[in-house]
Structure formats: C-alpha cells, structure tokens
Structure 1
Amino acid sequence: MPTNVRAAIRAEIESIEALDALEAQQRQEALVWVDSGAELARLAKPATPPMHLVSYFAVVAPGHLLLVDHKNAQLWLPSGGHVEPDEHPRETVARELIEELGFAPPHPIGAPLMITRNDTVGLTAGHTDVSLWYVVQASRDQALHFDRDEFHAVRWFAFDEVPLERSDPHMARFLRKLAAQEATKSG
C-alpha cells in the first residue's frame, strides 16, 4: 500500500473522537495496525489477510436508518464494502453505494463517525474486520436498486426499531453516537 494511502487511512482513524473506552481502545489498536505496515486491504476472499479494512456507510434520513439483510452475514447491517488496495475508504463508500444500492452519494463523503473491530459471523466467519462507519444522508424516497446477489432485502428502520438482536454488535453504540452528533448539530 502506498505511503500516501496509508497516511490517509491513518488520518481517517485519527479524526474519530471515541464514544467510549471500547472505541478508544479499538481506535488505538487500529492506529498500531496501520503503523505496523501490515496489509490493510483484503486481497482474496474471504479472509486474506485475516484482518482487513471495511468502509461501512449508514444511510440515514431524519429518524431512520437504511439497513440491508445481508445474505452472508445473516444480519441486518449498514451497507459497506472492503477497501481495495490503494483505495481511500471514502472512495470505497462512493463505489459501494452505487454497486450495492444503485445511487451516487448525494453529498461529499465526510470523515467517519466511528471505528469498530469485529470477528465476522455468518457463512464466511472467522476473520476480523476493522470498520470505519461513515454517514450518508439520503431521502427515504431515494430510489434503490439493491444487489440481490448480496442482500435478501433493504429496509428503512426508525432508530428505535432497528433489530439490534440481529445486527452488528456495535449498532446500539453507533446509534447513540449518531444521536449525539445530531444533537450537537441542532443544539
């Protein structure tokens, strides 16, 4: 990975203000990982290298979150994708938004709101995703053309109706962080 891309990824991670001790720990571990020189991008499916970078993007409308019923993970998740070699994570968001949901970002992609580290579950369990969580604002009327090979369905959920028991283990924390960000903007 070129030094400038690695430096840009490091800057993305550094820009995140931790919500809690867990995020602070995972942020620090991710910075150490980036600085180690290890390969950050997935080179071969499902798990080469066994830890790689993911760009999640939470598509949100006032009071609502768009989730995909992911066939492989068997969970309701934000859309997202693996960061390709030499790709900035924000480019991953723009590329995957078109590939997975069929629309271009309606605004420039800002810095990530959150970082998490998870051991994967589902059909290709057993590797580790370091995920940068981006926010994409969209209308609930936005036309969607989702990837039916990857997802069973897509659905808007009110924030208080997100199926936390069948979602990313950090989803409740993300929703708290998103609410705090929204409160800061409006207050």
Structure 2
Amino acid sequence: MTAATASRQHLVDLVDNICPWDETERAHRQTVLDWLAGDAPIHRTAKPDVPDPHLVSYFVVLDETRLEVLLVAHRKAGLWLPSGGHVEPGEDPWQTVVRECREELRVAAAPSRLPGLSGDRPFFVTVTRTRGAGPHTDVSLWYVLGLPRSAIVSYDAAEFDGIRWVRVDEVGDEPPDALDPHLPRFAAKLLSAVRPLGGSS
C-alpha cells in the first residue's frame, strides 16, 4: 500500500467512525465517503478553490465547565465560525488542528476528553459551499478542543475581526445568516453529548 493510499484509507476510517447526528449529517458523511472512494485530489493546492472540493479541519474550542464555545468572526467568510484551516498534502487532519490552533489562537490544541466526544478524532462532518470570492465546496471535519476561556488571550487579527464565547445551548438563537450554516446542528449534537455532565440548565 502506498503512502497516498494509506492516507486516504485513514481518512475513510475517520469519517466512517463519525456517528451521524441527523439525516443531513448521514447524507454528508456518505457524500464524503463516496468522494474519498474515488481518485479525485483531496487537498487544496491553489487558493482559493483548487481543487473543488477539498479537505478542511474545523476545531471548536469548548470551555468544558461553562459549556461555552469559541466563535471567530472570519474576515473572508463574513461569518461567525469555529477556527480551522485547510489540510495540507501529507498532513493528518488532527495535525492541521494542532498547527492552526497555534497560528490562529496562539495556544496549544488540547482535545476534549469529555465522555461522548471524540478526543483527537472528528466529532462531526459537513459538506458546505463557501461564500465570498472563489466559492467552492469545503469538506470539513469538526474536532472539539477542551480549553477554558482563560486559555484564549490572543488571536490572529489578520484573519479574524474578533472572537466571542457563546453558550452551547444558545448557538441556535444566533441569527442564522451570521453563522456557518451547520453550526446550530453541531451545537445540538455537542449538547446532546455533554448534557449529562452539564445538567439541565
């Protein structure tokens, strides 16, 4: 087995092990598995949209005590999003999280260890058409990091207009045209996984 084949099989295993939250995620997961089963390139080689689609790692920073998630105001997208970035050729998606967390939030990535979450494996998967210049399709693997609010003291101001914390159970109350379109569904899945730990409030 070549390195490229092994890398693609590893991605298949990561995606196949994601337990879909709803029919939308089930359909997205199948779309990604079908994409990986072919021979289309999967890593971005030229900005912003070559090839289309290509692979992205999102990471959602969760304050595990407050049950709040960190959102960033992404300049190019014009949306509140989780942090993240494009997976480079030869890079494991978790390595992308580690690299981008350091670059964007100036802090070391720490996978959430809460029961029901996935540690250094993806928790959620989406297929999304981007907005703005050079629209294309992002195949995104969503990871959950466990970091307290006090750990985030800086961010990449060239990429983000700002950052803010939102309670997981209030993400769905945000204006939908201001968010990544899948963020409320992600928050619902996350809340379902951690609710026994946080109680009913």
TM-score (norm 1): 0.93
* C-alpha RMSD of the superposition: 1.8
Show the 5 A alignment for 1:80-95: 80-95=84-99
Deviation per CA, 1:26-78: give whole Å up to 9, x if none. Answer: 10110010110211111000000010011000001132010100000000000
Which residue of 54, 57, 60 maps to 2:59? Answer: 57
Separation of aligned partners in 2, 1:164 and 1:113? 24
Unaligned runs of 5+ in 1: none
Report the counterpart of residue 167 of structure 1 in structure 2. 179
Report the counterpart of residue 7 of structure 1 in structure 2. 9
Show the 5 A alignment for 1:148-187: 148-162=157-171, 163-165=174-176, 166-183=178-195
Aligned residues: 186
Separation of aligned partners in 1, 2:159 and 2:13? 30
Amino acid at match of 1:94: V
Kindly indicate whether residue 165 of structure 2 is the aligned counterpart of residue 135 of structure 1.
Answer: no
Which residue of 30, 33, 36 maps to 2:35? Answer: 33
Unaligned runs of 5+ in 2: 113-118
Equivalent pairs: percent with the same residue?
Answer: 42
Separation of aligned partners in 1, 2:198 and 2:170? 23
Separation of aligned partners in 1, 2:122 and 2:183? 15
Report the counterpart of residue 116 of structure 2 in structure 1. none
Checking the alignment, whether the CA contact within 8 Å between 1:94 and 1:104 is kept in structure 2 is: yes
Checking the alignment, whether the CA contact within 8 Å between 2:43 and 2:88 is kept in structure 1 is: yes
Show the 5 A alignment for 1:99-114: 99-107=103-111, 109-114=119-124
TM-score (norm 2): 0.87
Query: Does the residue aligned with 2:150 lie in a helix, a strand or coil?
Result: coil
